[in-house]
């Protein structure tokens, strides 16, 4: 099969996602990571639209990109001006990027009603822009904006716009489902019709070569991934997308899901086995940079992608993982997880024990006794399938293998409310480490924040720098039975992370601060125990 060219637009389309913004230097970090992943083309942004993107291209001139072509994005020339006088075209050349991607209008509705342009002038804009950039030694990717909507509205004109770009020697013609409204079977037929059109043009001698076709989809109908796969089946050889599917509105096609489908399930050549194993790390890295919580249910790389909860499932997976797994999770850098809950059987506990390094035999502890204890705790409100960190500590305690790296002596949290002023919180904590006690005081934006700050401050005296890169990712509080009113138990789950791992811990109590302490304490015990090994 033909190789597939991967085009990542996280640094442009991805930043159009709500709440995502990258500085030029952060964009460079992401670009270097994508280069290490062996992405073929990296869209660095639109140098003609803002100073930040031009700053990125200036920064990108220094490091050596070993695998990827940095690509500058822009538009065809404006109507009724000379291409060499167009400010956007000049900016593309000034970026010094070896590749440029320009979009042009394909849908006659946009040409006539939105741009108030003529169809003939639009064709000239496309051909002149591509020709000019090719004359300046650029690899040129032509993005046919709204191609599929244009194809439905006026097929002949939509194909004519592509033909203009092809005759002007564009290297790739990318078909865009810009509004994200198309379905896989319609995408596949349109791409097939397009390839037939170009085969005929080539056979008739109107083209010197058949152009490479690309696909760029949006997820407004939840079909971006499926539409991309359908386009590849129909002959597309360039795939556009973003890491984690970040993008405007409902997002773009998610390369993290599409790459393993193409490589592992369809047999296309797009990424090496070595680089496939970097996919989970890449996904989490971009989530961290974007300040977005990683989706646990993200296919292939999510925390829950290979998680098993039911006892029957776990028993089968222990015999042969393919019983309930579609691929080996290690192929994409992920790992198998067995969850513990009131649905668990002995198989879950035994598998989880081996995974966590718990020694059952030497302690003469029956897994059935542990199952009973877990089910009792879950009846009280704990939910260990959501808290691997707390479960590890619980297992160590039940098997008498727990070695606390700090012990609580006492803590006091004070909340002060003054008229017309926001509440302030202060926590005092006393802990002991190997017989040595430490008392610290810290403030926070709330009582839990103050307690967390005080605990970290105290621990830093005994374990300097160990917790420096540990941060809170998520904090969830759930009332277990609201009928008890303010006396009801609460379940509190916190998710923490460092550069390599995400872990969750849990606390349950009628007192929110007590539940918070349980989860915070477990989180830092878990982190410190791994660091001390």
323-349: average pLDDT: 79
d(CA 323, CA 81): 63
**CB neighbour list of residue 460: distance below 8 Å, 6 or more residues apart:** 467
Domain contains 289: no
From residue 127, alpha-carbon distances to 124, 130, 165, 310 in Å are 5, 5, 5, 60
Kindly state whether residues 371 and 424 are assigned to the same domain.
no
Residue 340 is predicted with a pLDDT of: 65
358-378: average pLDDT: 72
d(CA 396, CA 402): 5
| Three-class SS state of 41 | strand
Domain contains 294: no
Taking alpha carbons only, the member of 524, 460, 463 closest to residue 498 is: 524
Taking alpha carbons only, the member of 496, 353, 497 closest to residue 506 is: 496
Kindly state whether residues 438 and 316 are assigned to the same domain.
no
Taking alpha carbons only, the member of 161, 185, 168, 88 closest to residue 134 is: 168
Kindly state whether residues 257 and 325 are assigned to the same domain.
no
Percent of the chain with pLDDT over 90: 66
| Three-class SS state of 198 | helix
297-320: average pLDDT: 84
Kindly state whether residues 419 and 483 are assigned to the same domain.
yes
300-315: average pLDDT: 83
Residue 422 is predicted with a pLDDT of: 84
From residue 495, alpha-carbon distances to 37, 61, 150, 243, 480 in Å are 27, 38, 46, 22, 19
Residue 487 is predicted with a pLDDT of: 73
CATH code for position 441: 3.30.160.270
Over 90: is that where the pLDDT of 485 sits? Answer: no
From residue 507, alpha-carbon distances to 130, 306, 400, 409, 519 in Å are 61, 25, 21, 18, 5
Residue 78 is predicted with a pLDDT of: 96
Label residue 241 by pLDDT band (50, 70, 90). Answer: very high
- Region of poorest pLDDT, from 17-31, 101-115, 451-465, 486-500: 486-500
d(CA 367, CA 516): 29
Which of the given ranges, 190-199, 303-312, 453-462, has the highest pLDDT on average? 190-199
Kindly state whether residues 370 and 421 are assigned to the same domain.
no
Q: Which residue has the higher pLDDT, 287 or 240?
A: 240
Residue 420 is predicted with a pLDDT of: 83
d(CA 14, CA 96): 22
432-460: average pLDDT: 92
**CB neighbour list of residue 328: distance below 8 Å, 6 or more residues apart:** 321
User: Which residue shows structure tokens 């997308």?
Assistant: 241
Domain contains 116: yes
Kindly state whether residues 265 and 411 are assigned to the same domain.
no
Kindly state whether residues 241 and 355 are assigned to the same domain.
no
Which of the given ranges, 316-325, 350-359, 410-419, 471-480, has the highest pLDDT on average? 410-419
433-444: average pLDDT: 93
Over 70: is that where the pLDDT of 189 sits? Answer: yes
d(CA 126, CA 326): 45
Over 90: is that where the pLDDT of 363 sits? Answer: no
Taking alpha carbons only, the member of 231, 68, 100 closest to residue 171 is: 100
Residue 249 is predicted with a pLDDT of: 96
Over 90: is that where the pLDDT of 141 sits? Answer: yes
Kindly state whether residues 373 and 429 are assigned to the same domain.
no
Over 90: is that where the pLDDT of 307 sits? Answer: no
CATH code for position 195: 3.20.20.70
Kindly state whether residues 122 and 189 are assigned to the same domain.
yes
384-400: average pLDDT: 84
d(CA 78, CA 250): 29
Kindly state whether residues 443 and 479 are assigned to the same domain.
yes
Last residue of a domain, one of 271, 288, 322: 271
Kindly state whether residues 375 and 456 are assigned to the same domain.
no
Number of domains in the chain: 3
What pLDDT, in 10s, does the model give residues 34-52?
999 999 999 999 998 889 9
Range of the domain at 50: 5-271
Domain contains 111: yes
β-pair partners for 105: 145
Last residue of a domain, one of 244, 271, 298: 271
Q: Is 444 exposed, middle or buried (0-12, 13-18, 19+ CB in 10 A)?
A: middle
Q: Which residue has the higher pLDDT, 265 or 364?
A: 265
Domain contains 299: no
Residue 256 is predicted with a pLDDT of: 98
User: Which residue shows structure tokens 């773009």?
Assistant: 252
Q: What is the pTM (predicted TM-score) of this model? A: 0.74
319-331: average pLDDT: 91
Name the phi and psi angles at 521, rounded to 5: -60, -45
Domain contains 243: yes
Over 70: is that where the pLDDT of 342 sits? Answer: no
Domain contains 402: no
- Decide if 39 contacts 11 (C-beta within 8 A): no
Residue 347 is predicted with a pLDDT of: 67
Name the phi and psi angles at 490, rounded to 5: -120, 145
Query: Edge-to-edge strands of the sheet including 502-509?
Result: 471-479, 490-497, 502-509
Over 90: is that where the pLDDT of 94 sits? Answer: yes
Q: What is the DSSP string of 395-421?
A: HHHHTT----S-EEEEEEEEEE--TTS
Kindly state whether residues 489 and 343 are assigned to the same domain.
no
d(CA 226, CA 65): 31
Domain contains 284: no
Taking alpha carbons only, the member of 15, 14, 143 closest to residue 76 is: 143
């Amino acid at each position: 099969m033909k190789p597939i060219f991967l085009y990542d637009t996280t640094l442009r389309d991805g930043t159009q996602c709500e709440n995502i913004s990258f500085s030029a230097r952060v964009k460079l970090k992401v670009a270097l990571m994508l280069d290490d992943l062996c992405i073929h083309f990296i869209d660095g942004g639109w140098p003609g639209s803002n100073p930040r993107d031009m700053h990125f291209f200036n920064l990108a001139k220094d490091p050596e990109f070993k695998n990827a072509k940095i690509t500058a994005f822009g538009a065809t020339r404006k109507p009724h001006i000379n291409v060499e006088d167009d400010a956007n075209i000049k900016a593309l050349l000034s970026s010094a990027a070896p590749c440029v991607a320009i979009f042009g209008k394909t849908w006659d509705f946009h040409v006539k009603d939105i741009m108030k342009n003529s169809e003939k002038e639009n064709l000239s804009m496309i051909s002149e822009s591509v020709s000019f950039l090719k004359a300046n030694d650029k690899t040129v990717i032509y993005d046919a904006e709204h191609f599929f909507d244009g194809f439905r509205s006026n097929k002949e004109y939509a194909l004519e716009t592509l033909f203009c770009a092809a005759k002007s020697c564009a290297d790739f013609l990318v078909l865009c489902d810009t509004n994200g409204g198309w379905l896989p079977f319609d995408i596949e037929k349109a791409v097939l019709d397009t390839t037939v059109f170009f085969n005929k043009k080539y056979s008739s001698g109107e083209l010197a070569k058949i152009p490479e076709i690309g696909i760029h989809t949006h997820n407004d109908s939840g079909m971006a991934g499926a539409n991309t796969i359908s386009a590849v089946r129909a002959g597309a050889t360039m795939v556009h997308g973003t890491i984690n599917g970040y993008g405007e509105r409902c997002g773009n096609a998610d390369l993290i899901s599409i790459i393993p489908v193409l490589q592992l399930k369809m047999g296309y050549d797009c990424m090496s086995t070595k680089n496939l194993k970097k996919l989970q790390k890449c996904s989490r890295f971009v989530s961290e940079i974007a300040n977005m919580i990683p989706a646990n249910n993200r296919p292939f790389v999510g925390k829950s992608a290979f998680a098993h909860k039911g006892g029957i499932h776990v028993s089968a997976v222990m015999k042969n993982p393919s019983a309930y797994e579609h691929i080996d999770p290690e192929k994409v850098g992920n790992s198998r997880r067995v969850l513990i809950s009131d649905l668990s059987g002995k198989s879950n506990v035994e598998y989880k024990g081996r995974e966590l390094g718990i020694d059952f035999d030497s302690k003469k502890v029956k897994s059935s006794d542990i199952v009973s204890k877990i089910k009792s705790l879950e009846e009280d409100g704990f939910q260990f399938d959501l808290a691997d960190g707390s479960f590890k500590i619980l297992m160590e305690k039940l098997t008498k293998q727990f070695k606390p790296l700090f012990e609580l002596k006492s803590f006091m949290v004070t909340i002060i409310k003054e008229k017309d002023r926001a509440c302030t919180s202060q926590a005092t904590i006393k802990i002991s480490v190997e017989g040595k006690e430490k008392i610290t005081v810290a403030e926070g934006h709330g009582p839990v924040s103050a307690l967390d700050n005080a605990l970290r401050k105290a621990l830093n005296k005994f374990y300097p720098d160990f917790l420096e890169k540990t941060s809170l990712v998520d904090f969830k509080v759930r009332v277990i039975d609201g009928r008890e009113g303010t006396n009801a138990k609460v379940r509190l789950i916190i998710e923490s992370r460092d550069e390599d791992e995400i872990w969750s811990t849990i606390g349950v109590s009628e007192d929110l601060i007590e539940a918070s302490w349980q989860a915070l304490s477990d989180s830092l015990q878990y982190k410190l125990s791994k660091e001390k090994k």
